[in-house]
C-alpha cells in the first residue's frame, strides 16, 4: 500500500530516522542499532524491502551510486513524512502519559 | 556428488520448505540449485543450517545480495524470482526479516501474479475442456473416439483441472502467509513437513498415468506414420488375406469370385483394401471388399457385390457396451434418415452371437443394409450390397465365431 501519511511501520520510521544524514544500506543497519540504543537490529530483508518501498513512494532518493554501493538520502517528501510521524508519535505518548502513574 | 530430489513441498509453503532444507542439511544434503520440479543437492558433511526463501525480482539484486551477505546470509540459488539464502545456525544470527508487516510487502507481487495466473489458467482450461469434449463427441461416438485417441482428451482435461487446483492451492497458501504477516505473526521457519502425503501419492499416480498414456499415444503415432510409409496400414486386399471378419465370399459362396481391387486399370484407386488404425486400447480395421462377376447380371448391369466392414476389438471390457452403442449410432447415421424418423434398428436373436442388430438402408433395404454383430469384445459393423439377404450375412457371422 503506498504511504499516505498514516502510521508508519517501525522499520519504516527507523530507516527514515537513520537517514537524517545520507548513508548506504549496511551502514543504515548499524546506525539504526545505535539510534535505538541496541533495541532495533533490523534484518537485511526488512531493510532492503523498506528501502525499495520508500524509493518507490518517493520518500527517499539515491544520492550516489558508484556501482558497488548506493547512498540514500531523504527527499523533501520524506523529511515531511518523518516529521509528521514524529509529531503523531509524540501525541500518542502524550495521550498515554497518565499510564506513568498508578491510574490503572 | 550431486543428488536430484523431486520437489514435494511447494516453494510457496515457505516455512515447510525452509524447515525441509534445514533437515536435509542435517543429513548432509545441501541445496545448490532448483529446476521446475527438482531440488538439486550437494552431498557434504552434515551441518546445522538455516535456510530462508525470499521473493524478489527475477534476477537477484546486487545490493540485496550484498546486504544479506554482510548479515551472515549467503546466497544459495534462485528459481523464477525466488531466492534462497542460507546461514549456519547460531544464536547471534540476525533474521533476514525482523518486521512481519514489512515482510508481507515482499509477497505482494507474487500474490498479484497468482491472481492473474489463475484467471488465465481457468480461461485456458475452459477452452481445452470445450475443445476436448467437442472432439470426443464428434460423430456421436464418444467411447470409440476416446479409445481411438488413447484417452488423451480425458488426460488433457484431468491435467488442466489439476493445474488449476494446484495453482489455486499455492495461491491460497501464499495469501494466508501474507495475511498472517500483516497481522504481525512471523513465519515459522521450522514448520513440520511430511515426507509422504496423500496429495503426493495422487500427484505421483497422475503423473504415472499421464506418462503411460502419453507414451502409448506416441507409440501409436509412430506406428501410424511407419504404417503409412511402409504401406502396412493401408494395403490392397486379396482373396487370401487372412482377416478376422466375414469375407464377401463367405456370403456369396461363388465358385470363381473375381476381386475388384482397383477402380480401373488407369485409375489405381483401391476398391478392395484394408486400413489399420494403431491404438492401445482398441484394435481397429476397416476393410472394403468388392467382386466383379462379369458372367452375372443384377439390376441391369454386371454383378458387383460389396461389403464394407469395421472391425473393433475392445481391450477394456467395461467399455464394450459403450463402444457397441457408438457403433450402432454410426451404423444408423450411415444411411440417410429424416430427423423425425423412428429408429430402424432391429435386434435379432442369433445363436452363437452375443448381439446382432440389423439396420436397413434408405434404398433397397433387403439388398443394401447394415449389420452390427458382437461376440465377446469383438464388434463387427458390416454394410452389405448384393443379391444376398441378411440371413446369409448372419449365417456367415455365426460361422466366423463358431
Smallest CA–CA separation between A22 and chain B, in Å?
Answer: 17
pLDDT in the model for residue B200: 74
Cα-Cα-Cα-Cα torsion A36, A39, A40, A43, nearest 10 degrees, comes to 150
Domain B233-401, CATH among 1.10.20, 1.10.3210, 3.40.1000, 3.10.20: 3.40.1000
CA dist B302 and B401 (Å) reads: 32
How far, in Å, CA of B383 to CA of B359, rounded?
A: 9
| Interface contact flag, B63 A29, Cβ < 8 Å | no
Are the beta carbons of B32 and B77 closer than 8 angstroms?
A: yes
Distance from C-alpha of B323 to C-alpha of B146, rounded to nearest angstrom: 10
Q: Which residues pair with B358 in a beta bridge?
A: B346, B371
| Interface contact flag, B105 A49, Cβ < 8 Å | yes
CB-based contact, B312 to chain A, within 8 Å: no
Spell out which residues of chain B touch residue A42, defining contact as CB-CB under 8 Å: 98-99
Vertex B227 angle, CA B226 and B232, to 5°: 140
Going A46 to A47 to A53 to A54, the CA torsion angle's sign is positive
In this structure, what C-alpha cell is assigned to residue B243?
A: 482377416
CATH architecture observed for domain A10-97: Orthogonal Bundle (1.10)
Closest chain B residue to A25, measured at CA: B67
Q: What is the pLDDT of residues B219-263, one digit of tens each?
A: 888 988 999 899 888 899 999 999 999 999 999 999 999 999 888
The pLDDT score that the predictor gives to residue B365 is 66
Q: Which of B96, B101, B105 sits opposite A44 (nearest CB)?
A: B96
Segment B184-194 shows an average pLDDT of: 92
pLDDT, tens only, B348-398:
999 999 999 999 887 766 789 999 999 999 999 999 999 999 999 999 999
Instruction: Please give the residue of chain B at the shortest CA–CA distance from A26.
Output: B67
**Rounded CA gap, B77 and B85, in Å?**
7
Which of residues 22 through 61 in chain B touch A, CB cutoff 8 A? 52, 54, 61
Q: What percent of chain B has pLDDT over 90?
A: 64
* A48-76 per-position pLDDT tens digit: 999 999 999 999 999 988 877 889 999 99
What is the distance between the alpha carbons of residues B283 and B378, in angstroms, rounded to a whole number?
A: 9
Residue of A nearest to B102 (CA): A46
Domain boundaries, chain B: 2-96, 106-228, 233-401
Inter-chain residue contact A70 with B95, CB threshold 8 Å? no
CB B50 within 8 A of CB B22: yes
Chain B hits for A25, Cβ within 8 Å: 63, 66-67
Answer yes or no: are the C-beta atoms of B314 and B323 closer than 8 Å.
Answer: yes
Closest residue of chain B to A39, computed from CA coordinates:
B98
**Bridge partners (DSSP) listed for residue B262:** B270
A65, containing H or E segment: strand A60-65
**Across the interface, do B98 and A29 touch by the CB < 8 Å criterion?**
no
CB contact under 8 A, B98 and A43: yes
Nine-digit cell string for B366: 433387403
Distance (Å, rounded) from C-alpha B72 to C-alpha B87?
Answer: 6
Residue spans per domain, chain A: 10-97
Q: Choosing among A41, A48, A68, A71, which should be mutated to test the B contact, i.e. which has the most B CBs within 10 A? A: A48
Q: What pLDDT was estimated at residue A3?
A: 60
For residue A5, name the pLDDT band (cuts at 50, 70, 90).
low
Write the pLDDT tens digit of every residue in B24-56.
Answer: 999 999 999 999 889 999 999 999 999 999 998
Q: Which range, of A53-57, B110-114, B190-194, B260-264, averages the lowest pLDDT? A: B260-264
B105/A48 Cβ within 8 A: no
Residue A59: count other Cβ atoms within 10 Å of its Cβ. Answer: 24
Residue of B nearest to A71 (CA): B63
Sorted by sequence, the CB contacts under 8 Å of residue B241 that are 6+ apart come out as B274
Collect all residues of chain B within an 8 Å Cβ-Cβ radius of residue A10: 99
Instruction: Supply the ipTM of this predicted assembly.
Output: 0.84
Amino acid at each position: 500500500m503506498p504511504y499516505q501519511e498514516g502510521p508508519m511501520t517501525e522499520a519504516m520510521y527507523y530507516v527514515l530516522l537513520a537517514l537524517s544524514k545520507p548513508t548506504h544500506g549496511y551502514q543504515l543497519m548499524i546506525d539504526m542499532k545505535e539510534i535505538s540504543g541496541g533495541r532495533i537490529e533490523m534484518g537485511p530483508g526488512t531493510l532492503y524491502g523498506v528501502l525499495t518501498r520508500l524509493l518507490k513512494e518517493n520518500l527517499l532518493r539515491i544520492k550516489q551510486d558508484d556501482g558497488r554501493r548506493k547512498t540514500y538520502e531523504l527527499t523533501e517528501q520524506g523529511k515531511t513524512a518523518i516529521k509528521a510521524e514524529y509529531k503523531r508519535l509524540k501525541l500518542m505518548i502524550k495521550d498515554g502519559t497518565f499510564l506513568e502513574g498508578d491510574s490503572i | 556428488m550431486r543428488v536430484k530430489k523431486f520437489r514435494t513441498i511447494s516453494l510457496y509453503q515457505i516455512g515447510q520448505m525452509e524447515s525441509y532444507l534445514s533437515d536435509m542439511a542435517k543429513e548432509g544434503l545441501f541445496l545448490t540449485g532448483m529446476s521446475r520440479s527438482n531440488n538439486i543437492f550437494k552431498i557434504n558433511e552434515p551441518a546445522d543450517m538455516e535456510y530462508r526463501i525470499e521473493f524478489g525480482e527475477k534476477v537477484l539484486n546486487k545490493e540485496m545480495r550484498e546486504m544479506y551477505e554482510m548479515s551472515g546470509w549467503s546466497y544459495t540459488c534462485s528459481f523464477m524470482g525466488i531466492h534462497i539464502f542460507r546461514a549456519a545456525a547460531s544464536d547471534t544470527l540476525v533474521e533476514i526479516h525482523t518486521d512481519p508487516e514489512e515482510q508481507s510487502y515482499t509477497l505482494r507481487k507474487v500474490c498479484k501474479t497468482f491472481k492473474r495466473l489463475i484467471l488465465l489458467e481457468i480461461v485456458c482450461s475452459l477452452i481445452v475442456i470445450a475443445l476436448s469434449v467437442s472432439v470426443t463427441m464428434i460423430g456421436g461416438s464418444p467411447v470409440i473416439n476416446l479409445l481411438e485417441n488413447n484417452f488423451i482428451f480425458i488426460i488433457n482435461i484431468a491435467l488442466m483441472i489439476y493445474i488449476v487446483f494446484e495453482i489455486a492451492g499455492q495461491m491460497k497458501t501464499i495469501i494466508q502467509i501474507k495475511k498472517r504477516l500483516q497481522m504481525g505473526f512471523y513465519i515459522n521457519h521450522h514448520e513440520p513437513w511430511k515426507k509422504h502425503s496423500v496429495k503426493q501419492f495422487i500427484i505421483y499416480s497422475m503423473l504415472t498415468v499421464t506418462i503411460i498414456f502419453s507414451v502409448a499415444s506416441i507409440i501409436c503415432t509412430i506406428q501410424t506414420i511407419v504404417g503409412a510409409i511402409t504401406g502396412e496400414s493401408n494395403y490392397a486386399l486379396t482373396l487370401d488375406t487372412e482377416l478376422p471378419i466375414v469375407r464377401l465370399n463367405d456370403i456369396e459362396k461363388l465358385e470363381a469370385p473375381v476381386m475388384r481391387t482397383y477402380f480401373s486399370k488407369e485409375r489405381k484407386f483401391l476398391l478392395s483394401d484394408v486400413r489399420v488404425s494403431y491404438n492401445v486400447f482398441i484394435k481397429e480395421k476397416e476393410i472394403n471388399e468388392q467382386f466383379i462377376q462379369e458372367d452375372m447380371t443384377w439390376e441391369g448391369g454386371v454383378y458387383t457385390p460389396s461389403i464394407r466392414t469395421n472391425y473393433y476389438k475392445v481391450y477394456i471390457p467395461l467399455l464394450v457396451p459403450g463402444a457397441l452403442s457408438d457403433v450402432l449410432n454410426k451404423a444408423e447415421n450411415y444411411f440417410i434418415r429424416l430427423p423425425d424418423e423412428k429408429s430402424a434398428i432391429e435386434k435379432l436373436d442369433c445363436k452363437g452371437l452375443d448381439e446382432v442388430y440389423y439396420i436397413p438402408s434408405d434404398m433397397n433395404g433387403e439388398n443394401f443394409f447394415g449389420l452390427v454383430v458382437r461376440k465377446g469384445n469383438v464388434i463387427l459393423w458390416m454394410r452389405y450390397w448384393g443379391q444376398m439377404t441378411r440371413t446369409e450375412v448372419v449365417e456367415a457371422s455365426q460361422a466366423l465365431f463358431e
